A and B are shown apart, each in its own frame.
Chain A
Amino acid sequence: MSEILALLFFPGGLFVLAGGMAYEWADRKLVARLQNRVGPRWFQPLADTVKLLAKEEVIPSGVNAFLFLGLPVVALAGALTAAIYVPLAGLNPIYSFPGDLIVTLYLLSLLTLCTGLAGANTANTFSLVGATRTLTQLFSYEAPFLLALLGPALAAGSWQINQINAYAHDHWLLLTQPVGFVVALIGLMGKLELPPFDAPEAETEIVAGALTEYSGRGLALFRLGRNVELMIGLTLVASFYLGGLGNPLEFFAKTLALLLGLSFLQSLMARLRIDQTVGLWWRYGALLVLAQWLALILIGGLAR
């Protein structure tokens, strides 16, 4: 019974949805203040979601209606399922089993995959180009991001998130694996398609990328999925590298500090072309994180 409550309200379900919207607001407000503007008021993401849910959903001609309507639901479901394995609000995850780190990372990629499929489903040229770019970006940052998150797993000697969280409590992996931290943070930006990695969603080139044809409920679900992913991604990186999340105060402080760093990076740089993104990741990202792994294995071997 308590598990059902945890899944539906806290810390899963409603808490994660509301938290995702709150983090989206914080991100937009921070970026606006960094650009010397005012930024939206606190209820803006909620208002956007309510408005989108109230709008008519237009199904364009030439698409597979079942996929068109079902992909947003699968994307949000994947993101919400991933939420039950991470230490949200600093409390223990609802469910935990050995190897749940791999499952969580897979579930997080499910959203990007659904976006790419949704774009490929339509006959709109903008969506097709956007879908191609989304999937290209997925292939390019996924490997370094995974390796960067598996570095702490190697150091903690376990693939279970709450055990890595407990290990990180005593060891600030930011200091011992700085390269991994940088790659993980920038990989999070790539996963969430934040500037400068927003080529798949480049407004001035391909309108809205893979989600061009979506409006109404589908768009609301995709956006909610992205917000939930933002919150989960921040939780993972904070818990692995910033010394674990033991209580709600630590949770909010550390994830908000990370969000500030993300906002700075967002506002400082122009958009990278998709080929420049791939080049950056496969040249610098992968090499750096592999070098980090090599160092870990060698030092670990020497220590033993």
Chain B
Amino acid sequence: MKIGAMLGDVFRSLFRRPATRQYPSERKAAPQRLRGKLHWDAEKCTGCQLCVKDCPAQAIEVVMMDKADKRFAMRYHLDRCTYCAQCVVSCRPGALSMSSDEWELAATSKEPFTVYYGDEADVERLMVGLAEANADGAQEE
């Protein structure tokens, strides 16, 4: 039985640097497998909607823009996503991947939390469509 069994450790700590990492002035390099923000490759997508079905948080919406051309756009809700990577596994053509360095996703407003992927014109049409739908809803009320 001794008094102060941690004396060695405690004494040595006086001469060592603290173990605290001073974030944000120093950032640790993120590991390669880190599950950060989702990225979508429009070229590879076949529109099978398996990712939409399997997402536990309903964070992905795949919208068909042109049936003949097989063009799709994706609306991704950053704030609903649980970063589980099930969609990455479910996607057979491999159109989805999770970034390993975009993980500081906090924002001060809600707009950055809805991310649109796809062709520029498609995305604009989607956003205009969304604004119109909102306006219609407001008029009905």
Contact = CB atoms under 8 A, between A and B. Distances in A.
Tell whether any CB of A sits under 8 Å from a CB of B in the complex: yes
Nearest to B19: A36
Prevailing SS type, chain B contact patch: loop
Nearest to B22: A38
A268 B10 contact: yes
Interface in B1-51: 3-4, 6-7, 10-11, 13-14, 16, 18-20, 22
Contact of A36 (B3, B4, B7, B16): B16
A42 interface: no
A53 interface: no
A37 B18 CA distance: 5
Interface residues of B, number: 13
B7 A35 contact: no
B6 A37 contact: no
A264 B18 contact: no
Nearest to A268: B4
Contact of B18 (A36, A267, A268, A269): A36
Contacts of B3: 268-269
Interface residues of A, number: 12
B20 A37 contact: yes
Interface string A22-35: 00000000001111
Given A264-B10, A268-B10, A33 B18 contact: yes
A33 B15 CA distance: 9
Interface in B83-129: none
A38 B19 CA distance: 8
A34 B20 CA distance: 13
B19 to A, nearest CB: 5
Interface of A: 32-39, 264, 267-269
20 contacts: A33-B14, A33-B18, A34-B10, A34-B11, A35-B10, A36-B16, A36-B18, A36-B19, A37-B18, A37-B19, A37-B20, A38-B18, A264-B10, A264-B11, A267-B6, A267-B10, A268-B3, A268-B4, A268-B6, A269-B4
Given A37-B20, A268-B4, A269-B3, 17 more contacts: A33-B14, A34-B10, A34-B11, A35-B13, A36-B18, A36-B19, A37-B18, A37-B19, A38-B18, A38-B20, A38-B22, A39-B18, A264-B10, A267-B6, A268-B7, A268-B10, A269-B4
